[in-house]
Structure 1
């Protein structure tokens, strides 16, 4: 049965959303592709998360101002949004699988460049790495939709888990590795080029498959098949679609909260008397429940009814964490970090899942992924900057945290449209 919605046809719920689809047999090729995909996903947050623990050292050694250090930590998030809009044109030129390989190579080069002496290399390498990750962010949902259609839930779970796991790994081991080896921050940050290069090598066999070596690289057969299944939208149509905007706003608002917490949570806890080491550990600790929640998100999205309960639960968990940080930030801090980690992990898993579920095919998934992550991450970069400005203006953390609670209200409103079981560009 053709599950795609065409113009003039009533919107029909695709069969795979009524109940879990039954996957076909798992072969060596599928397992190899899944492992290579997961390795690639693991590297899409490492370059960002590895910088935060040594940012004060970088600031001191490179004689950066507070504004310069804040700009350095914000550059990757801005890149995630700005460079996402280049992904569709590059995909048409190279194909999604070749482009992901090029992005992993560029990420490796950016990490190495970032570790070279000089402020120009520091910012230039960060820019290259952020641009490469931006392209990878857009491609991953599209590849899931096309290559793993029968196992989309599992692969979305692995994708979300790899993103969270990569961030937790980098944030957790950079400082201990620095202490154990006696190396400086440049050498330790340069080490993260090894897993990105390993991911590129693991992805290389995917480019050697017969269907990937089509003479017409600009228009791979897989993309042509997707475009025959559902008509291409008119230019600008996606930007007028309410479902697309709901998915985009949900992606952006939940990312705003995540990057705000990532940037400022340790400082908030330190200002309330917690030691630097313990404050950094609490940020790392929150990633563990977050990893579990992000992995479970596709199943929660598929089975919890009505569908709006899943994002509502994510918002309620985040609100519990924020409220706890307002009332008593230090005493039962593990409770607040567990709630916050679960809520934010579930939210990112749902956001990525909506990109896949609201698209009729891989081509439309790529279009929606570009819009949701391009606009979404530009929204998200307001989190670290805005929270810092609010903290400076108010002289405390009450106003910034209350604003984050307000963002949760807007996030939940966007989730109402994003969680509706309909495709983008479907007739009303």
Structure 2
């Protein structure tokens, strides 16, 4: 394990205290820069997808791979992340994840479909590992500030995603190239990597860590771990499905494209404060079950609003969806830490819940669209989301109970 001094460690005096504060500040900056890159490169491509399709002369089906591959990487690569961290150490593994991410985003800016696809896979692999490591990094470095740091983590990811969505088209228009935003985010990821490497250089870690005997197979035997996995999977499915299909649902019922765009913007905007407040609230509660149920009911209310009244109350439905979805993902990440005793247990729990959860999320938009084509309307598709929210609510009641996953190292 790293020799990084935790922020809650007993303070030293004099020069030692100054050095400790500088080290803590350095790792805080490195941590936030890393988090800033864990959503933005994915979101940046969406607003300029049409220009990319024209530039690479590809169909919509091929272009859809560029949004599906990262989610599939989350599902496939996450189980490998704890294994890598056990051998390289968590800090070096995060550095490797940032290197892979920066390289992948850079390749996504190459004017070649083959390189773009390779870059998308590398980017997805880097983000997948980062998603697993960062909650465990919080548990190790700030064990008495889990709620606050988890709030900073989720907010920083949300701010990065919001900036990516807002700046992609203006940057593309300014330079007449869809590649420019990709190069920019590659540079931002490289900056995060350099700051992280500087931290490793200033605070060196052991060459390798002893792999714990606890394994992902042991986690798969835990009912509590499965409850958290279902909570994570259902909320991810709801979020990604709404991001992909909400505009088409409301415009097909008579809303304008501008109104649909406002709804999506409001959803993503209000996720930011919700994702900041909920981790701090969750860590102050002995049980998070009621909180999980309330959050799920907010999403259900917004979903039912879109289903039953897509042309009226759009702002209210967007706020309910945004608050619920922002709160649910931050609660899921927080429970990964609250339900585990050890740092490597939280990494295993994070790996399991994210790999299976994002696999569900990848199938959600596809099944949603298939049900629409089969029925000719949106009622079946929206009903699917309601069913998933029932599962999420039950899973939240279970994983919110004050217990720990029991693994034997």
In the superposition, the TM-score normalised over structure 1's length comes to 0.86
Alignment match, 1:396: 377
Determine the C-alpha separation between the residues in 1 that align with 2:261 and 2:338: 36
Alignment match, 2:314: 333
Alignment match, 1:146: 140
Alignment match, 1:187: 180
Please show how residues 305-344 of structure 1 align to structure 2 within 5 Å. 307-344=288-325
1:91 matched to 2:81: no
Shift of 1:307: 2.5
SS of structure 1 residue aligned to 2:145 = helix
Structure 1 residues not aligned, in runs of 5+: 1-20
Deviations 1:283-319 (A, max 9, x none): 1221121111111111221335653111111111111
Q: Given that residues 304 and 310 in structure 1 are in contact (C-alpha distance below 8 angstroms), is that contact kept between their aligned partners in structure 2?
A: no
Q: Given that residues 161 and 291 in structure 1 are in contact (C-alpha distance below 8 angstroms), is that contact kept between their aligned partners in structure 2?
A: yes
What is the alpha-carbon root mean square deviation over aligned residues? 2.2
Deviations 1:342-383 (A, max 9, x none): 000010011000111111111111111111111111111111
Return 397-406 or 136-145, whichever deviates more.
397-406
Residues 116 and 243 (structure 1), Cα distance of their counterparts in 2 relative to 1, 3 Å cut: same
1:196 matched to 2:152: no
Please show how residues 330-409 of structure 1 align to structure 2 within 5 Å. 330-409=311-390
Alignment match, 1:13: none
Determine the C-alpha separation between the residues in 1 that align with 2:341 and 2:176: 50
1:27 matched to 2:21: yes
Q: Given that residues 74 and 384 in structure 1 are in contact (C-alpha distance below 8 angstroms), is that contact kept between their aligned partners in structure 2?
A: no
Shift of 1:426: 6.7
Alignment match, 1:296: 277
In the superposition, the TM-score normalised over structure 2's length comes to 0.90
Deviations 1:154-196 (A, max 9, x none): 11111111222222221122123323x1422122222211211
1:213 matched to 2:205: yes
Q: Say how many residue pairs are matched.
A: 394
Q: Given that residues 293 and 345 in structure 1 are in contact (C-alpha distance below 8 angstroms), is that contact kept between their aligned partners in structure 2?
A: yes
Shift of 1:235: 7.0
Q: Given that residues 250 and 415 in structure 1 are in contact (C-alpha distance below 8 angstroms), is that contact kept between their aligned partners in structure 2?
A: yes
Of the three residues 255, 261, 264, the one matched with 1:283 is: 264
SS of structure 1 residue aligned to 2:402 = coil
Determine the C-alpha separation between the residues in 2 that align with 1:317 and 1:176: 34
1:47 matched to 2:41: yes
Structure 2 residues not aligned, in runs of 5+: 1-6, 12-19
Determine the C-alpha separation between the residues in 1 that align with 2:341 and 2:402: 12
1:105 matched to 2:96: no
Q: Given that residues 171 and 284 in structure 1 are in contact (C-alpha distance below 8 angstroms), is that contact kept between their aligned partners in structure 2?
A: no
Q: Given that residues 307 and 379 in structure 2 are in contact (C-alpha distance below 8 angstroms), is that contact kept between their aligned partners in structure 1?
A: yes
Of the three residues 114, 119, 122, the one matched with 1:125 is: 119
Q: Given that residues 23 and 150 in structure 1 are in contact (C-alpha distance below 8 angstroms), is that contact kept between their aligned partners in structure 2?
A: no
